[in-house]
Amino acid sequence: MGTLLWPPPPPPPSVISVSGRRSLSTFPSCLPENRYSRGKVCSNIQSSKFDSFLDLKPESEAELLDFDLRWLDSSCKSCLDVIIIGAGPAGLRLAEQVSRYGIHVCCIDPSPLSMWPNNYGVWVDEFEGLGLEDCLDKTWPMTCVRIDDHRTKYLDRAYGRVSRKRLKTKLLEICAAYGVQFHKAKVWKVEHQEFESLVECDDGSKLRANLVVDASGFGSAFIEYDKPRNHGYQIAHGILAEVDSHPFDLDKMLLMDWRDSHLGNEPYIRAGNSSLPTFLYAMPFNSNLIFLEETSLVSRPVLSYKEVKRRMVARLRHLGIRVRRVIEDEKCLIPMGGPLPQIPQSVMAIGGTAGLVHPSTGYMVAKTMALAPVLAETIRECLGSSRMIRGKPLHHRVWNGLWPSERRCTREFYSFGMETLLKLDLNGTRGFFDAFFDLDPYYWQGFLSSRLSPRELALLSLSLFGRASNPSRFDIITKCPAPLVKMMGKLAFETI
């Protein structure tokens, strides 16, 4: 709803490996765009039956960027300023931001030029605010939310699909301009001394740095927690598909479709959907090309992937969507909420492994893009100065720079939102979003973009309760007192 993990990880306390909202598959660059622009369908493609599109194999292949990186001489014994583990969106964004200050940065990744396996859907205004609007390859001027067969919310907020190729190329270009070096390897071990850390890689190299930052995603083994990792999970199955036709407006992105009329002849599936609902997320590119994703917003324990696919099959059959080709598919699992990593600790983090996934929605990429400069500024204050703050004082400064008290408090509100959604069935979820999207746009947009203050979140909560239907209020009062008490306790602790 971010960096993604599949298959599902073992339950806590073992290591768990999301973001726009969410990750989604994109056009492979090898497919010419004009192939779809007139809605033509190739006659030599064998289409699926309504109930068997899952048998079609994705046609896309892995892609490598053609880019000249500056490679690190691993035989060099000098100490680096910063080592960043991972060359995903979070790692590259932080690398280019830190390197602007003249700080010596190295990114370690097993395949730094590989295209990211996931891409992201984001609110257009978020990327415009970051100066990254040129990295969007498709936008929709409006989004919509289908509450049920009779209620639809039309949201006057543009939505966009991030071009993973444009974004990664742009970040690499800035990294190259400021001297970021790369090392092609997998990190096996990180050892800490008083003022520096030793990073051991699978190629036998050993690199030293004043600061190590983990941007490798949820599967990281280098970030420590001092509380049980009671995540909720967002799980989804998505396809970028060529279809005979579809019923969606081309100028609207379908953010959520909570209808369950497609399960009228599937009573065994309908009962499960009533208690643990899923929704459809759809990006129509033209009359024959569309991205479709069936999503469980959040569940604990995670809803089975097989069940999500069964519901998607039933939905597309009901909508009359015949899939002719699956260009790419996506298996998505995003850990949401849960505790933050132990603050501070010897390895810094950014992205999903730093707890930056929105606990209520799964959105992450825009927030990570926005907070990387904040973390970079803190690193500059420590490593870019003549006094060189290192060791424990450095770790304390960078962790608290990313997660100051107010940001931790707002995350508790968002986590309460997740815990509330976990308690709601289909009717409760419908009632929640019916009231949520009736709020002043400042509040619902701010909530989804993680930019409201604790006071504004409190006002949002009161307004949401006031606008909710009586059944929704009853759900909140009867089902959510424990999460509310837990949130208030955490907020009190953070403000002491």
Reply yes or no on whether the pLDDT at 130 is more than 70: yes
Three-state DSSP class for residue 496:
coil
Q: Are residues 413 and 388 in the same domain?
A: no
* Model confidence pLDDT, tens digit, residues 449-475: 999 998 898 888 888 888 777 777 766
Q: Are residues 101 and 212 in the same domain?
A: yes
What backbone phi and psi angles, to 5 degrees, belong to 344? -90, 175
Here the CATH number for the domain that contains residue 395 is 3.50.50.60
Q: Does residue 68 belong to any structural domain of this protein? A: no
Residue at which a domain ends, from 403, 423, 444: 403
Q: Are residues 375 and 414 in the same domain?
A: no
Which residue reads 């500056």 in tokens? 70
Q: Which pLDDT value is given to residue 481?
A: 54
Reply yes or no on whether the pLDDT at 284 is more than 80: yes
Q: Which pLDDT value is given to residue 494?
A: 47
Domains in the chain, number: 2
Three-state DSSP class for residue 262:
helix
What does the block give as tokens for 67? 């880019």
Residue at which a domain ends, from 403, 427, 455: 403
Which residue reads 């990073």 in tokens? 199
Q: Which pLDDT value is given to residue 227?
A: 92
Which residue reads 């100490």 in tokens? 79
172/95 Cα distance (integer angstroms) = 9
Q: Does residue 309 belong to any structural domain of this protein? A: no
Q: Does residue 298 belong to any structural domain of this protein? A: no
Q: Are residues 165 and 223 in the same domain?
A: yes
Q: Which residues contact 491 (CB under 8 A, 6 or more apart)?
A: 409, 412, 454
> Containing domain of residue 387, as a range?
80-136+160-228+341-403
Three-state DSSP class for residue 50:
coil
Of 294-308, 438-452, 477-491, the range with the lowest mean pLDDT is 477-491
Q: Are residues 92 and 222 in the same domain?
A: yes
* Model confidence pLDDT, tens digit, residues 37-81: 333 334 344 555 555 688 899 998 878 999 999 999 988 889 999
Q: Which helix (H) or strand (E) holds 488?
A: helix 481-495
Q: Are residues 352 and 478 in the same domain?
A: no
Q: Are residues 418 and 447 in the same domain?
A: yes
Q: Does residue 302 belong to any structural domain of this protein? A: no
pTM of the model as a whole: 0.87
Residue at which a domain ends, from 382, 403, 424: 403
60/46 Cα distance (integer angstroms) = 16
440/447 Cα distance (integer angstroms) = 11
Q: How confident is the model at residue 18 (pLDDT cuts 50, 70, 90)?
A: very low
Q: Are residues 396 and 436 in the same domain?
A: no
Q: Does residue 303 belong to any structural domain of this protein? A: no
* Averaged pLDDT for residues 403-414: 92
Q: Which helix (H) or strand (E) holds 256?
A: strand 252-257
- Residue-averaged pLDDT of the chain: 87
DSSP 374-422: HHHHHHHHHHSSTT---HHHHHHHHHHHHS-HHHHHHHHHHHHHHHHHH
User: Residue 362: which region, alpha, beta or left (left: phi > 0; alpha: psi -120 to 50)?
Assistant: left
Q: Are residues 198 and 121 in the same domain?
A: yes
CB atoms within 10 A of CB 390: 15
Q: Are residues 170 and 222 in the same domain?
A: yes
Q: Which pLDDT value is given to residue 458?
A: 85
Strand-pair category, 206-214 with 80-85: parallel
Q: Are residues 381 and 490 in the same domain?
A: no
* Averaged pLDDT for residues 119-142: 95
* Averaged pLDDT for residues 162-167: 95
Q: Does residue 321 belong to any structural domain of this protein? A: no
Q: Does residue 164 belong to any structural domain of this protein? A: yes
Q: Are residues 375 and 362 in the same domain?
A: yes
Q: Nearest CA to 34 among 24, 25, 45, 42?
A: 42
* Model confidence pLDDT, tens digit, residues 74-112: 888 899 999 999 999 999 999 999 999 999 999 999 999
Q: Does residue 418 belong to any structural domain of this protein? A: yes
* Model confidence pLDDT, tens digit, residues 193-207: 999 999 999 999 999
- Strand partners of residue 152: 146
What backbone phi and psi angles, to 5 degrees, belong to 373? -65, -30
